[in-house]
Structure formats: structure tokens, C-alpha cells
């Protein structure tokens, strides 16, 4: 009886370990949130494309955005942002996109 329970537990653990989507989604979410926070704090020197037309006030508002949802498909992620904490921040429609490069999630665009 104990052996059957152990086998069932091991099988369940193997299935859970093989479903890497959740950890990829968590990693993409964390990367996007860190990116947004860096812009809000003025520490995002490596993202001139996003900052080129943003005013200092808009940059602070960008830092208040939150990740609403993440959908991962292979090395690409679609990220929906919650703009409710940044009223008045101009933004486009549609999700932001990220790409996984050498194991790290990188922001491609924020509409």
C-alpha cells in the first residue's frame, strides 16, 4: 500500500515538474515588473526606446503599472498590464510582448 502511494506521489511530482509554463510565466512577470519599477525610479538607462518620448511624470506613472496577466508560448510572452494605478498615462491597446533570450525574459514593447 505504501509503495502504491509513493508511486502516485512521484508520478504527480514528475508531471508538475514537466509543466514549465508556470515558472516561465512567473519569470516573465517578475522581469516585466522589475522593468516597470526601474523606469519609475529613473534607473532604466537601457530602455531609451520606451523613454524617448516619456516625460518625467509619465515615467513615474509607468512605475505604477502592474502586470495583470502573462501568457507564455515557447520563448514569447504576451503581458497584459493594469493601467488603473496610472490614470492619464497614454498607452496603446493590446498586450506588451516579451521574448526569452539566453534564459532571461526581455521586454520587446509596451503599447
Tell me, yes or no, whether 13 lies in a domain: no
Position 16 scores a pLDDT of 36
11 inside domain:
no
pLDDT in tens, 84-96: 888 888 777 778 9
Q: Is the residue at 28 inside a domain?
A: yes
Number of domains observed in the structure of the chain? 1
- Residue 60, in any domain of the structure: yes
What residues make up the domain containing 82? Answer: 20-109
The arithmetic mean of pLDDT across residues 73-92, rounded, is 88
Average pLDDT of every residue of the chain: 76
CA angle 94, 98, 99 (to 5 degrees): 140
Q: Is 100 contained in some domain?
A: yes
> Is a pLDDT exceeding 50 seen at residue 24?
yes
* Contacts (Cβ under 8 Å, ≥6 apart) of 93: 111
Q: Could you tell me the pTM of the whole model?
A: 0.70
Amino acid at each position: 500500500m505504501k509503495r502504491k502511494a509513493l508511486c502516485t506521489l512521484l508520478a504527480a511530482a514528475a508531471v508538475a515538474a514537466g509543466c514549465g509554463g508556470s515558472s516561465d510565466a512567473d519569470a516573465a512577470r517578475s522581469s516585466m515588473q522589475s522593468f516597470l519599477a526601474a523606469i519609475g525610479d529613473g534607473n532604466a538607462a537601457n530602455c531609451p526606446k520606451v523613454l524617448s518620448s516619456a516625460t518625467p511624470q509619465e515615467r513615474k506613472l509607468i512605475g505604477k503599472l502592474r502586470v495583470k496577466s502573462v501568457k507564455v508560448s515557447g520563448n514569447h510572452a504576451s503581458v497584459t498590464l493594469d493601467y488603473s494605478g496610472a490614470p492619464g498615462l497614454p498607452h496603446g491597446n493590446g498586450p506588451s510582448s516579451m521574448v526569452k533570450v539566453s534564459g532571461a525574459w526581455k521586454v520587446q514593447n509596451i503599447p
